[in-house]
Structure 1
């Protein structure tokens, strides 16, 4: 049997491509190396499955940095409204509980996978699990077949959606990269992204019970204006070994490449909702005037969590039983500066084992953005994380996977 399309990988991109091609009447085979499909999708968003968000396409692409423009055609074909309508067409209702992030109403990735699986069955898409692809076979730069560990399947079109290297226990081990390199494609350097970061400092381990909201982070490498422009905003969580939370998950994609070069990356963190030194001084004085009997920790607790207030005072060698007016000027100044910008030193991470996504992938220069087809091998398509595009947390990467998968699957109708 010769298939119209063989999809490799059953993440969001692969499932989207298989469904689109199936809807267009194509004979589709879906190959998955694990014993079941959509393993990583099941864990997305802590199992809640944040499918997308409500940003307009221009703002959405800007969130991905310079590579974001590559997504123009894919997003025009399927933006977040189209994605919601697609899920509605397969009997999965979605909603936007916070006005920004799009979830299934069940807040369960299992219901998403079930709906997608049912649609594959309706379309007679053939699914074969425990099939590890070993080689894509070509002739005269055209696809002829694909070889797994125990079979060869004939086709003229392959959609490679094998993902990156994040969460290897869920199948993301970068299998697609050596295959495409053997066909002449370039793969950019790969870095783990969307992950916690380790710090040289350990004092924050005493503040683990608190989430700090509306934090601003910036890189603090002297004489490097390019890096100093790197900033991020969001919620921060302290850990015994470093930092995590949405703002760190987003910022990690910028930091991990520079850890290779600098080994350590100093950062500054504003923990007071963006207040500058003057605003912090004003707030402390007003609070101290209204409640003069309160000690410095009680006063600071109106700005930051109590556990954090205690640690910052300890760093400044301030007696926490004293009130603000009785603290020496030098210690006061140090405390104010620390509240405005708290220094940390990023010293490492846990690699791809804890990374939710991969930064890097197949070079965009070698892919047609209007079709997702390789410019080197006719009939070879790419979608999702295997491509050199990665975005922040908040539904960005799943939307990209679905959009690119649908675009790759749609082109087949024209072949």
Structure 2
């Protein structure tokens, strides 16, 4: 029984779990890290398509703003461990980083395996006991105080347990929502869970004819009164069944809750870099000799032009001035605001993150410790905080894991 007593048990080997174990071990704590997969960092390996966009160079204030109303919760964690601290920490364990576009931070290798190997080596250097293929089935708790964890074959004991299990995203990599179950079993509230950062399926079938084209700086809005202030800008990619691309991955976290509520979500998309109707008229007038197809292909890929013209019965071979007045008006309007209707998504299996989680009201932002159970901590995606693409969620995982690893005891 003696060898099963620890100062800290960490459940999960993502960014949050591994850094929390390292921080605690550096402070002299005896740490056990439990991972249900046979290798550490399975989801971290897939981050950013394997290129591992670690963080970005935004100020803490602006960084928090990108997370919406819950962003302020991050203040203490970011003040203690911002992007510069993360770069320094990684450099300390042998990972060189760079900022090729002046904003996003990557390992120089652009390979997530570099990060995982360095963290794994540091766990070993700090004498953290790592148990792969070890699924925690329950938490041991007495009198609202954590005592340890149960697995199928053993009980392990510690006065501190960190739940760093992630969410439901990338279920093929082992995500199963265990952390939510652990929290709920001990009295924590779990907010509604939605898949986020994932491709979307549309009612409109014409998108399949445009799947070879990428639209730069597309602007997406949700055409609902309750969402009038929500929009996203970025590259849009059509698929055989809908839309994807960075702008869709970012904005899907706003769309999926509405989809759950209404069954379908109307979108308006500006694919012409924010041009308004007057801008479109001016553009057309500067090319009076060109037919519709040629003049609009200066703004959009030809496949998209053809589909939009079909939608409003505009003859591609005609010049703009020769079109029926109503058709001219419809054509300009659909160029400025192309309607699409989201009717489904690809599910948690292909969702990069989860929107929702353990409610933040029940977690101390200065320590990441539960306000309900003494010695229980949360960090990373298991909490009700999610951000857009661009290193936001990984920075939050590292920052919250760092803070949780400092422990109160």
Q: Do the two structures share a fold, i.e. TM-score over 0.5?
A: yes
Deviation at 1:324? 2.4
Instruction: Report SS of the residue matched to 1:15.
Output: helix
Distance 1:86 1:343 in 2: 46
Instruction: Report SS of the residue matched to 1:3.
Output: coil
Distance 1:257 1:385 in 2: 17
Report if the CA contact (8 A) 2:77-2:366 is conserved: yes
Name which of 67, 70, 77 aligns with 1:67. 70
Distance 2:207 2:294 in 1: 19
TM-score by length of 2: 0.98
Matched length: 406
Name which of 91, 94, 114 aligns with 2:94. 91
Kindly provide the CA deviation profile for residues 267-306 of structure 1, in whole angstroms up to 9, marking residues without a partner as x. Answer: 10001000000011101211x13xx1x3211111111111
Distance 2:80 2:405 in 1: 12
TM-score by length of 1: 0.96
Instruction: Report SS of the residue matched to 2:405.
Output: helix
Distance 2:314 2:181 in 1: 57
303-312 vs 41-50, which deviates more? 303-312
Distance 1:36 1:13 in 2: 16
Name which of 366, 388, 391 aligns with 1:395. 391
How do 1:134-149 residues align onto structure 2 when only pairs under 5 Å count? 134-149=137-152
Report if the CA contact (8 A) 2:219-2:271 is conserved: yes
Instruction: Report SS of the residue matched to 2:64.
Output: helix
Distance 2:283 2:60 in 1: 40
Name which of 184, 187, 190 aligns with 1:184. 187
Kindly provide the CA deviation profile for residues 121-150 of structure 1, in whole angstroms up to 9, marking residues without a partner as x. Answer: 111111001111111111221111211111
Instruction: Report SS of the residue matched to 2:22.
Output: helix
Kindly provide the CA deviation profile for residues 26-51 of structure 1, in whole angstroms up to 9, marking residues without a partner as x. Answer: 11110001111100100000000000
Structure 1 residue ranges (4+ consecutive) displaced by more than 4 angstroms after TM superposition: none
* Counterpart for residue 30 of structure 2: 27
How do 1:187-226 residues align onto structure 2 when only pairs under 5 Å count? 187-221=190-224, 224=225, 226=226
Distance 1:135 1:169 in 2: 22
Q: Does 1:301 align with 2:297?
A: yes
* Counterpart for residue 104 of structure 1: 107
* Counterpart for residue 48 of structure 2: 45
Kindly provide the CA deviation profile for residues 54-91 of structure 1, in whole angstroms up to 9, marking residues without a partner as x. Answer: 11001100100100000000000110111011110011
Instruction: Report SS of the residue matched to 1:134.
Output: strand
Distance 1:235 1:116 in 2: 33
* Counterpart for residue 284 of structure 2: 284
Name which of 308, 318, 340 aligns with 1:322. 318
322-331 vs 190-199, which deviates more? 322-331
Report if the CA contact (8 A) 2:9-2:148 is conserved: no
Distance 1:301 1:25 in 2: 64
* Counterpart for residue 353 of structure 1: 349
Distance 2:43 2:327 in 1: 49
* Counterpart for residue 247 of structure 1: 247
* Counterpart for residue 125 of structure 2: 122
Report if the CA contact (8 A) 2:271-2:300 is conserved: yes
Deviation at 1:308? 0.8
Distance 1:399 1:263 in 2: 33
* Counterpart for residue 404 of structure 1: 400
The gaps in structure 2 that reach 5 residues or longer are none
Deviation at 1:259? 1.1
* Counterpart for residue 365 of structure 1: 361
Instruction: Report SS of the residue matched to 1:389.
Output: coil
Distance 1:69 1:246 in 2: 25
Distance 2:165 2:306 in 1: 48
How do 1:140-179 residues align onto structure 2 when only pairs under 5 Å count? 140-179=143-182
Report if the CA contact (8 A) 2:146-2:373 is conserved: yes
Kindly provide the CA deviation profile for residues 130-185 of structure 1, in whole angstroms up to 9, marking residues without a partner as x. Answer: 11111111122111121111111111000100010011110111011111111111
